[in-house]
Amino acid sequence: MTTEQIYELAVKLGIKADLRGAEKVKKYLARAKKNYDELSAKAKEEFDQEKLTNPYSDTRILVDLKKKPIKKIMVGIDMEGAELLLADKLGVDLVIAHHPEGKALADLHSVMDLQAEVLAGYGVPINIAESVIKPRIADRHVLRMVCWTPSSEGLFRCPLFRLCRRHRLAQSGGS
């Protein structure tokens, strides 16, 4: 498989397992398409086209050199400089990380907002769900902006993408 095929499969499986259900995800993507269609030509040039087919803005391919089929994958929570250097030394073809970086990190707040939507779907009043999620969005943004450096993406020669799915509240307490 190629990096692109693995990525497309991950998004497809994510949609299938999405707690909102496939219909709500389809509506979300349709809304994104409608918003895109209403943009000016200039705004369309800057629009993240992935948002039309991928409802998870924190899941993106960051580096894909398209050199060879993927045979060896390294997966982790935070894959930064040291892990990327190790992946290179081990001959890894693809690195997948749970926490987003680069352009996948830029729109993380919208994915974390989905947590409030999911909680509301399970009967938690939306104002309560949002009040629980908002501080986590602010904390994560400040922490990641301090720790992330763009150069970490270029430290090795194999494809890299961040496969990051939204945290469940139970998981996100300490990460």
Task: Name the residue range of residue 103's domain.
Answer: 3-172
Check: CB of residue 72 under 8 Å from CB of residue 158: no
Please give the pLDDT value at position 53.
93
Number of structural domains the chain divides into: 1
Tens-of-pLDDT digits for all 175 residues of the chain?
Answer: 998 899 899 999 989 988 888 898 999 999 999 999 999 999 999 888 888 999 887 788 877 877 788 999 998 888 888 888 898 899 898 888 887 766 656 566 666 667 777 788 888 898 888 888 777 666 554 444 333 333 444 434 344 444 433 333 333 344 4
Please give the pLDDT value at position 90.
92
